[in-house]
Each structure stands twice: as C-alpha cells, then as structure tokens.
Amino acid sequence: MNNIDNLPSNDNSSSNHIPINTGAIDSPFVVFFGPMESGKTVGLIRLAKFLEININASVKVNESFRYDNNYQKVIESFQAAMADPSSTPGRTQQMNFLLTDIYVKTKKWAQFLEAPGEDFFSQTAPEMNTRWKPYLNQIMAMNRRKTIIVFFEKNMLTTPAQRQAYAQRVISFINLCDFKKDKLILLYNKVDNSPEIFMNGRVSSEAIKQNLIQNPDYKALFQAIKNNRFIKKIGYLPFSSGAFYHDANTNKESMTMGNDNYPKALWHQIEQAIRPKKWWIF
Ligand SMILES: Nc1nc2c(ncn2[C@@H]2O[C@H](COP(=O)(O)OP(=O)(O)O)[C@@H](O)[C@H]2O)c(=O)[nH]1
Ligand SMILES: [Mg+2]
C-alpha cells in the first residue's frame, strides 16, 4: 500500500481545516456523492438503521478518521440518530463528515464515507469545482474496491447550468474510478416528492433511468458513461429516507422512516458491488 495513505492529510484548501486520516480506510468503501442538502446524511442513517434491524449488522463511526475535537460530537450525534432516527434531520449539520464501519457477523464488511456536499459540488464557488480536496484525491487513488453513489433529485440545483456543472463534476469523479472493479449507482433521492413517477405505490428503476437519461442537463454524463466500455452495469435507484415534517412553530423537522424497500434495494446494490456473487462457485 502507498505510504501516503497512512498519513493524516492536512487539508489546507478546506474552509474548516479538518485533518483527515485516509489511512482509516481499510476495506471496500462506498462514497455518498452529492451536493449539499441532497439527503446524504439522512440516507446514511436510514441505510444504517435498516442494516442494524434487518441484517443484524452493526454500523459504527470509525473513530480514527478525524482527529479534531468536533469529531466526538459527530460520533455522539450519529449514535443519537441511530437511537432515534425521527429527529435525525435537525442534527445533520453536526454529522457532515464521517466514516462509518459496517460489521456483518463481526467482520468488517465495508465503510461508508459521508462528506460535505461542497467538497463534491459547490453551488456558490464555481472555482472550487475544478479540483478535488486532497483527501478525496487520496481516497480515490487507493487500490480498494469503490462504490460511488451519486445523488440526484427532482429539480435539483435550481438552474440547468448548475445541473450541467454537477454532471461535469460527476464525470470527473467517476474518471478516478477503475470500473474493472468499481461500481456506480445513480440514486434518485426524495422520490416521496415525486408522486407522478409512482405506479402501484412504487417507483421502478426503469422510471429513474428514463428520468435521468432524458434530462438534457445530464447528456454529457451519459455520453461519458457510454464511452467507458468498462462501465458495464449501473444501478438506477429510487430512494426515500422517509416523510419529513417541518413544524413552523418550533422550526424543527421530524422524519418518519419510509418504506424498507428503499434501503433494502440500496443495500442489495452495494452488496453486489462489493462482493459480487460469482454464480460459477456454486
Ligand atoms: N422529502 C424528502 N426530503 C428529504 C429526504 N432526505 C433528506 N431530505 C431533506 O433534505 C434535507 C437535507 O438532508 P441531509 O441528509 O442533511 O443532506 P446532505 O447535505 O446531502 O447530507 C433534510 O433535512 C430533509 O429536509 C427524503 O428522503 N425525502
Ligand atoms: Mg450531510
């Protein structure tokens, strides 16, 4: 392994100067890629909760990923959200930059990285969208199996120009992958906001695929995907963490967890990406 992986990277370009230990990544990992407010943190909690309840996995914040004092608060917020997911959203500001370890039958199975949306796509500082922060470059240079979950949602990012710029960011990020082993999942989040794409109470992955492919703002992305002959199978996933309720009086938001089918399908895709079932073994 490259030595640099074991060094904490002092990220000077970061507004918050959080030192990251990329050496904490020691397993196949999943990156939650999406702009601010696209639902990455809530989605992480929703998936973690599903795994804990349904497959008896344990999801823990990796304690050596960050060294700063605030990280302890992140760990506590994560634990509190796992204990009571209904009050998750109000706490996500705290919980914006963490690595979680997923243990299945006591074996570390994968790691999920949830990072600030601005590190993937900045809506306010376009010059930030020309490079990746050092920790992201280090992580993407690692010789480990990666699964990239790219977040989309209905009417995201307000203008076509922003959506096109986001698509360029996605292209540039997936160009750091090696699709001989890595995997791409396009996740269309907050489908609870899109009753028009439901049929019989469900959203099909085909509906998501068509919705994304037919969006002219993402044309360059799908062309890039088509041009890469190693990208064989992409996951198209409808997703919703739950129903959100904003109380105007208290200015607080609460969440009711949504249908298990969403995290279940996401987990299925991640499983396939990380440990593809080789049918010829059986
Ligand atoms: N309707 C709906 N809103 C969501 C969903 N997930 C997240 N949100 C909203 O998006 C906000 C930001 O979510 P968060 O996970 O913090 O976004 P992040 O910045 O990408 O980590 C939440 O406070 C919710 O208001 C979802 O599944 N459905
Ligand atoms: Mg977040």
- The three-state secondary structure class of 50 is helix
Domains in the chain: boundaries = 3-275
pLDDT score, position 16: 56
- Strand 20-21 and strand 98-104: pairing? unpaired
For 3-275, which CATH class? alpha beta
Ligand 1 centroid from CA 4, angstroms:
34
Spell out which residues line ligand 1, taking CB within 6 angstroms: 34, 36-42, 89, 92, 117, 189-190, 192-193, 240-242, 244, 253
**What dihedral do alpha carbons 170, 176, 179, 182 form, nearest 10°?**
-90
Q: Ligand 1 centroid to 38 CA: how many Å? A: 6
Structure tokens at 68: 């700063």
Ligand 2 centroid, distance to 46 Cα (angstroms): 13
pLDDT in tens, 46-82: 999 999 999 999 999 999 999 898 999 999 999 999 9
User: Which residues of the chain have a pLDDT value below 50?
Assistant: 1-15, 281-282
Please give the helix or strand (H or E) that residue 203 lies within, else none.
none
Nearest-atom number in ligand 1 for the CA of 44 is 15
CB neighbours of residue 151 within 10 Å? 26
Tokens 């960050």, residue?
Answer: 66
pLDDT at position 17, please? 73
Model pLDDT, residue 232 = 87
Pocket test for ligand 1, best of 37, 41, 247 (most atoms within 8 A of CB): 37
Indicate the DSSP class of residue 27. S
pLDDT in tens, 174-185: 999 999 999 999
